[in-house]
Every structure is written in C-alpha cells, then in structure tokens.
Amino acid sequence: MSAFTDLRHYIEHLTETLGSDEVRRVDGADRDADIGGITELMAEREGPALLFDNIPGFPPGYRVFTNFMGTAARTAVALGLAPDTPKLDIVRAWKDLAGRLEPIPPVRVETGAVLENVLVGDDVDLGVFPTPRWHDGDGGRYIGTACMVITRDPDTGWVNIGTYRACVQGRDRLSLWMLGNRHALAIARKYWARGRTCPIAVVVGQDPILSTAAAMAAPAGMSEYDLAGGLRGRGVEVLLPPGSELPVPAHAEIVIEGELPPVEEESVLEGPFGEWTGYYTHSGQETVVRVTRILHRDDPIILGAPPMLPTVPAGDQAVPLYSASVTWEHLEASGVQNVKGVWAYARQLMMVVSIEQTGAGDAMHALFAALGRKRTGGMERYFVVVDEDIDITDINHVLWAMFTRVDPKESIQVLRAPTTAIDPRLAPERREAGDLSMGVVLIDACKPFAWKDRFPAANRFDEATREALRGRWKGVLPL
Ligand SMILES: Cc1cc2nc3c(=O)[nH]c(=O)nc-3n(C[C@H](O)[C@H](O)[C@H](O)COP(=O)(O)O)c2cc1C
C-alpha cells in the first residue's frame, strides 16, 4: 500500500499520477467567507483537491488543503492503488489488506520537519494559523477536522489516536468534542482520577493513511500508529518532542501540545459545528486543551475535511470505503455465501450488498448479517441486498433493483437498532432519556429465489457487450 512520508509527499504524488489539474491552487480566498464554500461547491461536483494560499491576514505559504480524498481516484492514490482502480476493487483491496494486516510499530527518529518552528511561552498562539470557519453557522473556527488526537495510557503506555473535532478557543485554548465511548476520554479519566491533567497532542496535517487510521476503531490497547504502519507496509516515523512522552509524526505540518484538565475544572462552550449528517445537532460545555507548545513546519498546511451533506463525497472518502470493507468482512465471517461486494452510500446511511443467490434465505441472511455489524455510534439506516448483476457502485442501478425487484409488502422489514447521538431524527425526548435507538430498514431487492429463473429478462446490454462496444466505438463512447 502507500507509504507517503507526509502530506506534502501525497500532494506531490497526486499531481504526478493524476495530473496538475488534480490539485487546484487558490490564492486570496478569505478564511471565513470563501474557503469552506469553495471547498463544498468543488466537492459537490467531485472536483480537484484544493490548496489555498495567500489567505488574507496571513503570511504567504500558510496554507489550507481540502478535498484531499474527494474522489475514488484520489482515494485509490491515497491508499497506494492505481488511480483507475474500479471502485469495488478499492473496497476489496482494503478488505483483503485489513484481513491479513500485521501491525508495524512506529520508527523513532530524533528529528523531523515538524520541529522547524517551536512556539512556547508568550509565542503560543493558535491565531497564527489561517483556520477557516467552514460553514457560516459554525460556532467557531475548527482547526481539527481531520486531525489526530494523541494520548498515552498511564498504566500500560498504549498510545491511542482518534479524530475528534478541535475548535480554536483562544491563543492557548482548543476545545475537543469526544463522544462518551472514545478511547482518549477513557485515558484522560485515568489521569483525572489521580488528580492530574492528561497530556495530549493534536496533529493537524498528516498523510492520508495516518488520517484514515486515526478514525479507525482499533481495539483498546492497539495503537493506530501500528495499524497505519501495517497499512503502509512500513513504520510511521515519529519523534518525541523534548520533555514529552507522546510520539508525534516527525513530518507533520502542525502539532499542538498541551494538557487536558477534567471538564469540572475547565470547560468551554463548544459548537455548534455542521456535522457529517448535514445538520447541527450538538453544542455544549466540553473539554479544553491548555496549549503549552506548538510545533510547526515552515509554511504549514492545515489539512481540512469539513463535514458536508453525506451525499457529497467528502475529503475523508476512505471512511465509507472502510465501512463497506468491514461489513464485507463481517458478512463472510458470518457465513454469508457468495458475497460479490459491499458499497456504502451517503457515507454509511445506506449499505448495499450484492450476492449470488444459491438458496432461498441467502438474501435475508445477508441483510441480517450486515445489520449485525451495526453498533451504537453507527448510523446505517437502510440495508439493501441485490443480485450480482447489479452494479452496486452505481446508485441508478441500485435504484432500478429497488424499484422493480421489491414487493414493498413482502420484501421490506423495519426494525429498531442503535444509532448515534448526532442522528438528526432522534426525537428530543428520546435523546434526553438517553434512548439512542432508531428504525432501520432491511430491503431484499433480489429476484425471489424460488422463481428467479422465471424473472423477466432485462433489456439492458450486458457488461461484455458494453466493453466490446466501447472498444469498437472509442471516439463515440469515451466512457
Ligand atoms: C472526519 C472525522 C471526524 C470525526 N469527528 C469526531 C468527533 O468530533 N468526536 C468524536 O467523538 N468522534 C469523531 N470521529 C470518530 C472517531 O474518530 C472514531 O470513532 C475513532 O475510531 C475514535 O477513536 P478511538 O476509538 O481511539 O477513540 C470522527 C471521525 C472522522 C473520520
């Protein structure tokens, strides 16, 4: 897989493999009025990655990079695959790799580009960076949208990494919003129980494999650094900043170091922040990092993945691919026969599985097994199973199956399952009562197995014929 040394290496590689148009440089965009909007408009049409420079009020070279994995091609490159890898093959490659993954621990180095600038004492000022206000309804400027929050278990030394949104709250204050089951919160509680603050480092600007690993749900005790090393095939280069126990990527763009006091001792109003569901749901008194030191490279780059409507392929595109690959793996482990692929729509709101039916009940087995992967904190809402002739990476093809192979009275089941605290459809009284449950829909859009062979034939050219036509009519059929 990929082994980019840092974010800059990835940006260079994108232009080398996909052409210079793949990373659009934008000069003079305002961090409040323009950057978030341009990012969203470009993402909606699956446009290029964006590198904002000459941001008014900031030195030239202090940049913001967005839409970094906003297309299948960029995601493939980020994961070290050929840019023209078919969408489902990206999921398959990811699943196969995860299945045989050997964690590789990070490699300790003595120095790295992140130490080019070290701000301490009165020089500590988060305001030196051009942090954007991503959406106009946001309650602040979020420097951490695709960040890595690093903590270390005081008992075992386990280094955990998670992605939690981070908002600039002053020169030396950064708020974090961590949901209740997050590992960093569990680690912080151990320090708090001993009357100590929790040492913490927030990394802004790292290569896409590290970004992806940071948001993966590695089990407690396993470091996401080891996971990232396994995914890259080589250990991540990390260094221990002087006096710190927290390893940080040696070539990160920005590292914000500090301590996290208990929320009862210090907290700040956090949010609202436009979330990945496309809504604002959370705002409240949250934890604060007291920033003690900032490290950054010359001409630092903020890596931004602002949430957008879930139907827009956002910067962190590897998340739905990863989700699909984990469900695929789970289906196979559950004994579902002949799984041909899994695809996630709207990030994870609709999971679509294709199978080759070999017996009655296969489709229902696939639906229930896919549902079985859902946990508290996940928001999968619709589960659909289709036959192998459906291209599940094409929403129109999936809709065709749903519209024509489903008898709504027979083929749809509605159940209740866990959801996430940011589910916009959770009724206020349920949320207040701590009831995080929501309906889910299981849709069997396969041809009924009992009379599958008598199902009307489709009047659509098959893949082999399409391929042959494309070959014969290259000028007319460029696709
Ligand atoms: C772009 C992105 C932003 C995220 N933001 C948050 C957040 O603000 N708060 C949170 O609790 N989880 C957030 N998550 C989910 C966690 O990063 C994810 O569940 C991760 O596995 C948590 O790590 P942990 O299990 O080590 O705590 C985000 C994930 C992604 C991909």
Ligand 1 contact, 217 CB (< 6 A): yes
CA atoms within 13 A of residue 215's CA, in its CB half-sphere: 21
CA atoms within 13 A on the CB side of 126: 28
Q: Rounded distance, CA 159 to CA 135, Å?
A: 33
d(CA 421, CA 432): 10
Whether the Cβ atoms of residue 216 and residue 163 lie closer than 8 Å to each other: no
Q: Which residue has the tokens 């590897």?
A: 318
- pLDDT tens series, the chain, 479 aa: 567 999 999 999 999 999 999 999 999 999 999 999 999 999 999 999 999 999 999 999 999 999 999 999 999 999 999 999 999 999 999 999 888 889 999 999 999 999 999 999 999 999 999 999 999 999 999 999 999 999 999 999 999 999 999 999 999 999 999 998 899 999 999 999 999 999 999 999 999 999 999 998 889 999 999 999 999 999 999 999 999 999 999 999 999 999 999 999 999 999 999 999 999 999 999 999 999 999 999 999 999 999 999 999 887 888 889 899 999 999 999 999 999 999 999 999 999 999 999 999 999 999 999 999 998 889 999 999 999 999 999 999 999 999 999 999 999 999 999 999 999 999 999 988 989 999 999 999 999 999 999 999 999 998 899 999 999 999 898 76
DSSP character for 205? S
Q: Tell me if 439 sits within 8 A of 414, measured CB to CB.
A: yes
Query: How do the domains of the chain map onto residue ranges?
Result: 7-68+101-304, 318-472
Is the separation of the CB atoms in 247 and 239 below 8 Å? Answer: yes
CATH number given to 318-472: 3.40.1670.10
* Lookup result for tokens 């000459």: 54
Any atom of ligand 1 within 6 Å of the Cβ of 146: yes
d(Cα 157, Cα 462) in Å, to the nearest integer? 56
Are 387 and 355 in contact, with CB atoms under 8 Å apart?
A: yes
315 CA to middle of ligand 1, Å? 15
CATH of domain 7-68+101-304: 2.30.110.10
Q: Is the shortest distance between the CB of 305 and ligand 1 below 6 Å?
A: yes
The number of the ligand 1 atom at minimal distance from the alpha carbon of 161 is 26
- Asked if residue 84 lies in contact with residue 257, where contact means CB atoms within 8 angstroms, the answer is no
Torsion sign over Cα 306, 310, 314, 318: positive
Name which of 338, 344, 292 is nearest 320 in CA terms.
344
Ligand 1 atom at shortest distance from the alpha carbon of 273:
8
Q: How far is CA 415 from CA 418, 448, 476, in A?
A: 10, 21, 48
